[in-house]
Amino acid sequence: MNSDLLTVSNLGVDFLTGGRTINAVQKVDFSVREKEVVGLVGESGCGKSVSCMAILRILGETAKTTGSIRYKGTELLDLSESGIRKIRGKEIAMIFQDPVTSLNPVKKIGSQLIEIIQLHSRLSSDSARKKAVSLLEQVGIANPADRLKDYPHQLSGGLCQRVMIAMALAGDPNILIADEPTTALDVTVQAQILSLLKRLNRERGMATILITHDLGVIAENVERVFVLYAGLVVEEAPVDVLFKKPAHPYTQGLLKSLPRMTDDKERPLVPIEGVVPSPENRPSGCCFQPRCSRSTEICLKKQPLLESLGSGDHKAACFHAEI
């Protein structure tokens, strides 16, 4: 089978602000195999975006990252500043939630795209321009040559996200991290962008990490899923296993709380009671214990580790996981 391209293990991220330390990521483990699409899913504050930004080390100086991030055998956390810069865009590229503000407002689409192309290849400005046009074509933008002359504010959100994807493709990366790429877009445009990402994964064999809060997006687009809660991976499974046999009570709760197009609308939704704990007020023991119906004494004392549930690919961090 495919080997791991990227392995994140024991990742922890703290932010030091105003003399306080805020723990955004407690312990995150996940991996991406070649050509694979994995999904990180969780609610706001679960640490899914922070974990991925930690891979490219773009969290800024207030962040303290621990653990290990290995890409093709290289430890990314040990690389020098110029070393990690060779990874960014060239090996691992990233796109973000709000495409319009993710592009520089005072520069034309063309100049932003060409800048990235020339950074990753020694192309003349003429051939870089041609490559820019072809990249825009590949991401499904009509009249690409005209769009090069536009500024970001002249384009819609969907077009800006396509431009962001084109910029991500400029370095021909092996992994694309897509951080909530469709959250800011309308649902019909979301469908376009997701199908584009799928096509690029298929055609280029580019592995993709899809970060989202939407379990529907996960179900339709990824192969393996990592469920995050309060800065921890609480469950890991192939996508069909996760939706058929969720093992962690949080995953089960999430699935039950979704309004679906198919179920009986007179039946009330089953919410997860309580709230997501803030990083300052994490509970003792298992992080989900205060909201969990299955919690027992041991859950109050110890945080369970992510462990295999029989079949190697299905893991959960729960003392009472349902197999």
**Footprint of another protein on 92-131 (CB under 8 A):** 93-94, 96, 98, 101-108, 115-116, 119-120
Give whichever of 89 and 302 is closer to another protein, judged by the CB atom: 89
Window 15 to 44, contacts with another protein (CB under 8 A): 43-44
107: Cβ–Cβ under 8 A, 6 or more apart, which residues? 151
CB neighbour class for 125 (10 Å; exposed up to 12, middle 13-18, buried from 19):
exposed
**List 35, 90, 204, 320, residue binding another protein (CB under 8 A):** 90
For 230, the enclosing helix (H) or strand (E) is none
Interface map 70-89 toward another protein (x if CB under 8 A): -----------x---xxxxx
Window 41 to 60, contacts with another protein (CB under 8 A): 43-44, 53, 56, 58
**List 192, 282, 294, 320, residue binding another protein (CB under 8 A):** 192
Buried/exposed 80-111: b ≥16 CB within 10 Å, e otherwise: eeeebeebbbbbbbbbbbbbbebbeeeebbbe
Reference 23, options 11, 10, 14; nearest CA is 14
For residues 174 and 89, give the distance between their C-alpha atoms in angstroms, rounded to a whole number: 9
Give whichever of 3 and 200 is closer to another protein, judged by the CB atom: 200
Interface map 212-251 toward another protein (x if CB under 8 A): -xxxxxxxxx-----------------xx--xx-------
Amino acid at position 52, single letter: C
For 136, the enclosing helix (H) or strand (E) is helix 125-138
Window 200 to 219, contacts with another protein (CB under 8 A): 213-219
Interface map 140-159 toward another protein (x if CB under 8 A): ----------xx-xxxxxxx
For residues 191 and 56, give the distance between their C-alpha atoms in angstroms, rounded to a whole number: 27
Give whichever of 295 and 297 is closer to another protein, judged by the CB atom: 295
**List 144, 253, 290, 304, residue binding another protein (CB under 8 A):** 253
Window 261 to 280, contacts with another protein (CB under 8 A): 261-262, 265, 268-273, 275-276
Amino acid at position 134, single letter: S
Give whichever of 307 and 313 is closer to another protein, judged by the CB atom: 313
**List 64, 199, 202, 260, residue binding another protein (CB under 8 A):** 260
Instruction: Map residue 62 onto helix, strand or coil.
Output: coil
Q: How far is the CB of 47 from another protein (least distance, A)?
A: 14
| Paired sense of beta strands 232-238 and 311-316, if any | antiparallel
**List 10, 66, 257, 293, residue binding another protein (CB under 8 A):** 257
Reference 185, options 159, 205, 157; nearest CA is 157
Q: How far is the CB of 247 from another protein (least distance, A)?
A: 16
User: Which residues pair with residue 28 across a beta bridge?
Assistant: 11
